Structure 1
Amino acid sequence: MSKKSLGLNAFLNGLRSVLNLLFPLVTFPYISRVLSVSGIGIYNFSNTYIGYFILIAGLGIATYAVREGAKYRDNKEQIEEFSSEVFSINILATVIAYILLLLSLVIFKNLNNYVACILIFSIQILFTTLGTEWIYTIYEDYTYITIRSIIFKILSIILLFIFVKRPSDYLIYAAITVLASVGSNFLNFVHARSFIHIRLTLNTRWEYHLKPILTIFASSVAVTIYVYSDNTILGLMKNDYAVGIYSTSVKIYQIAQSLLSAVLTVTIPRLAMLWGQRRRREYNDVLTRVINTLGVLVLPASVGLLMLSREVVLIIAGQKFLPSVNSLRIITWAIIFSIFSWIFSDCVLIPAKRENKVLRNTLVTAVINIILNFVLIPTMSYDGTSLSTVLAELSVMIMNGYSCRDIIKPIIFKKETLKNLLESIIGCIGIVGVCLLCQWSWNSMIMVTIFSVNSSILIYGAILVLLKNKIAISMLKNAINIIKNKI
């Protein structure tokens, strides 16, 4: 199999991640004006409710499938046997999720007002399983699913403006949301046959697969608990206004985080394959490149967002959400910690079959986050929730790093890595200076944003090139080659 470009894959995966986050941001201003408050409430509750059953159906299989499947991808017989077994487990989990969903609708009578919307959203459970995106991840092929995703997102936006016209159209909006998120998944399932032939099988090695799958699933549940606990505790201890302000800063934080993590996501199958095939030197080389590349990208992105928090909030959310600026400035630091925590967990611990360490660290982090919320929210409100997220992400980064210290120590303390970090910090000082200068020079929010972003990229890149940073020079050469080819 030909080796895929990690750079191209990172771009495509980043584009898809950003589109998934931008779809609700683009549609919400229209929807909030068309639908009734109760309609939006039913929509949001039903969507959140189904999320738990999607989690049950997923069962941590995607992460496990990428780790194990990457080892077999060059052996057609082995990868087909493995994929069929994993897919069969996924289908069984999906059936169980539907049974539990139907039972909950029968048992809990207070869900009667939500039944129709919940059933529409429940289509996502089956189609998420059929999407088998882990196959595309194993083969490092993001082109097909990215193009399909873009087409369905655009189609969904067109349908939204055509069919959602009245306050009672929230069910139509729910159906369009399903189309946008999983509409292309059946086509993904059909196209996956160009890689391998998947079939349902009863001849599955249950004992071999279930223990690691359930461990990864438990980690996913723990993450879900501590992610949702922020809004839940804030809503209980304060009010809906506080939740709305915090949610705005979180949405912006998630967009930046998703774009940066795209570089990381596409390297996971490559690292899993190299580790599984015991190619340690190549594994260390790729991991070093990932850490250094993210070091060059994550620090300036976080500093830039920190400096332009006010402008970003005004552009994305508007004047009434200005109180979220400070919350965004605090939670921006979590980007750095979460990205490197993810490196240690998904790129090191899971390929090394230490998912039990990931579970332990995630559970401890969930407890830390919940305790911090109860301590900080009474005095700091939504800013306290942001600070608890930062401290929780810092904690899990330290714990994950410690759990794989024997693997990452030679990489983290390598002269090249430390030099790369120092050069990035020096470049970030340049970004701070440029942003302050732009804010002093213009009163216009748009002008400040445009000049700050462009000037920051130029000054940061120039500083790294002058310091002879290998990652920056490599990026510059690639950009020059692309321009030459276009000309």
Structure 2
Amino acid sequence: MNSFSRNTMYSLLNQFITVSIPLITFPYVSRVLGPENYGTVNFAISIITLFAIFGGIGLVGYATREIAKYRDNIEKLSKAFLELFLIQLFLTICVFVIYLLFIFYSKEVNTNLNLFLIVGFTLFTNLFTFHWFFMGIENFKYITTRDAIVKVFFVILIFSFINDKNDNVLYVFLNLTSLILSALLNCWFLIKKIKIKPYKLVFRHHLKPVTLALIMSFISTLTIQLNSVLLGSIAAKENLGYYNVGLKLATMIVNIISSGLLVMLPRLSYLNSKDDTNGQVNIMKKTSSVLMFFSIPASIGLFLYSKQIILLLFGENYISAIIVSQITAICLIIMPLTGILYNYIYSNNKEHLAIITMIISLIVSISINFLLVPKYLFIGAAISFVVVELVKLIIYIFFMNRLNKEMSIYSHRYIKYFLISTFTLVIPYLVINPSNGLMTTISMILSVCSYFLLLFILRDPFCLVLFNGLKTRLSKE
């Protein structure tokens, strides 16, 4: 197994852990806290997310790209790390001061000051994640191991201490505790990978790309978080709870499917530094086809089974979240494709194209949000989210065609996956008409088995790879 495949496997495992843990804690916490208190927590998180961009989170893409360039030279690698870390430290301190002023003088925050203050300290834990460094050197094994340890610790804390609807402040404190543990592990492991000594640090050449990276990340995050911020500001907090439950269900699945994209950025950046265009083309085409192999049936499945999943995991209090989940199900197809195109554009130093895309998307987001959210609340926010993601994809496709037509991510296999998915998922659903947990499970298993069996009969190359891989594993055992 080559390094790219191995890292993809670790990335997939990491995303499985990242999603499976919330599937354990998310339903429990949302039930215990209730729509209103859970909505308040999400409102605080949406606010700090915007501040965190300027605190250094917005540098992850650029920092990953820079580390990937120098991973074969320990001296240059260490020097680049120190420069990027000191930049992030300076930004974090500045942003934290501004955040403190915001929460102390904001009327919206005053009633939940302790909660917002605790959430604010995550700015400093973000400083020590060093996710960009480990991604840049393509050490996905460590990332996966670290996340598994921290998330299991977090689960234990949640089930041990969260048992009342007024535990929302305690919940964010426990989250902060788990992030501190992650930071300690990162510092311990990082020391083994770099050389700390008095380098002649130069920051000037970082100024322009850092500024562009922060602008890009802020616009992108504002576009995504605008729905939550606006909804949380003008409507009762339970509306935000419905929106976040429905949306998170879709985005968690997207994160699993798109796990390979985490591997793409450092690999594409490395290939770009070697002028290996053919290598980039191969990765782009292969990754897009593999993602659609899973994304298309997952999107149709989420639309069909949203009601059963939400009632099972979150209960009757979140029945209004069903429509949000069904609306955003199409994003399981849109967002992975957008991620592929963004990674290619960014890894090839075409940040200006990404900025143009994000500015247009932000304008569309502001327009649609102020048009739909005040009238349709969480349903309007869900529609806005989908439209903005679709706009991003269309613009990226336009730029991709102008840069390099060989980089097309479209394949005739997409039509095949859609037709087979529709046949193997919709028919069992209509015939069985699942009304309880057992019938839902039977219907899902039948659909999944039928999908893979039909593709195997048609000799689909990715299905054959999965089958042969499974066959090899079983034969070894």
Percentage of pairs with the same residue? 21
Q: CA deviation at 1:393?
A: 0.9
Tell me whether 290-299 or 238-247 shows the greater mean CA deviation.
Answer: 238-247
| Cross-structure match for 2:19 | 18
| Cross-structure match for 1:473 | 464
Tell me whether 439-448 or 107-116 shows the greater mean CA deviation.
Answer: 107-116
| Cross-structure match for 2:417 | 424
Q: CA deviation at 1:484?
A: 1.9
Tell me whether 422-431 or 38-47 shows the greater mean CA deviation.
Answer: 38-47
Checking the alignment, whether the CA contact within 8 Å between 2:138 and 2:263 is kept in structure 1 is yes
- Does residue 1:262 correspond to 2:255, yes or no? no
The alignment covers a number of residue pairs equal to 476
Q: C-alpha separation between the residues in 1 aligned to 2:312 and 2:130?
A: 36
CA RMSD of aligned residues (A): 2.9
| Cross-structure match for 2:240 | 243
Checking the alignment, whether the CA contact within 8 Å between 2:285 and 2:407 is kept in structure 1 is yes
- Does residue 1:390 correspond to 2:386, yes or no? yes
| Cross-structure match for 1:361 | 357
Tell me whether 49-58 or 292-301 shows the greater mean CA deviation.
Answer: 49-58
Q: C-alpha separation between the residues in 2 aligned to 1:482 and 1:387?
A: 43
TM-score by length of 1: 0.88
Checking the alignment, whether the CA contact within 8 Å between 1:4 and 1:141 is kept in structure 2 is no
| Cross-structure match for 2:284 | 287
Q: CA deviation at 1:113?
A: 5.3
The verdict on how the C-alpha distance between 1:276 and 1:309 changes in structure 2, with shifts beyond 3 A counting, is: same
- Map 1:6-405 → 2, pairs under 5 A: 6-19=7-20, 21-22=22-23, 24-29=25-30, 31-32=32-33, 46-58=44-56, 60-104=58-102, 114-164=112-162, 170-197=168-195, 203-235=200-232, 239-346=236-343, 348-377=344-373, 380-405=376-401
Q: CA deviation at 1:48?
A: 4.3
Checking the alignment, whether the CA contact within 8 Å between 2:67 and 2:137 is kept in structure 1 is no
Q: CA deviation at 1:294?
A: 0.9
Checking the alignment, whether the CA contact within 8 Å between 1:80 and 1:198 is kept in structure 2 is yes
Q: C-alpha separation between the residues in 1 aligned to 2:379 and 2:165?
A: 34
SS class of match (2:150):
helix
Give the unaligned 5+ runs of structure 2: none
Q: CA deviation at 1:267?
A: 2.1
Checking the alignment, whether the CA contact within 8 Å between 2:247 and 2:325 is kept in structure 1 is yes
Cα deviation, 1:193-251, whole Å, max 9, x if unaligned, reads 332235686x4433311211221211211122222221344456665454333222112
Tell me whether 127-136 or 19-28 shows the greater mean CA deviation.
Answer: 19-28
The amino acid that maps onto 1:186 is: L
SS class of match (2:194):
coil
Checking the alignment, whether the CA contact within 8 Å between 2:261 and 2:340 is kept in structure 1 is yes
Cα deviation, 1:71-93, whole Å, max 9, x if unaligned, reads 22122222222112111211111
The verdict on how the C-alpha distance between 1:197 and 1:19 changes in structure 2, with shifts beyond 3 A counting, is: farther
Q: C-alpha separation between the residues in 2 aligned to 1:20 and 1:217?
A: 30
Checking the alignment, whether the CA contact within 8 Å between 2:39 and 2:241 is kept in structure 1 is no
Tell me whether 119-128 or 70-79 shows the greater mean CA deviation.
Answer: 119-128
Q: CA deviation at 1:182?
A: 4.4
The verdict on how the C-alpha distance between 1:42 and 1:330 changes in structure 2, with shifts beyond 3 A counting, is: closer
Q: C-alpha separation between the residues in 2 aligned to 1:279 and 1:327?
A: 42
SS class of match (2:369):
helix
Q: C-alpha separation between the residues in 2 aligned to 1:92 and 1:404?
A: 35
SS class of match (1:353):
coil
The verdict on how the C-alpha distance between 1:358 and 1:155 changes in structure 2, with shifts beyond 3 A counting, is: same
SS class of match (1:73):
coil
Q: CA deviation at 1:354?
A: 1.0
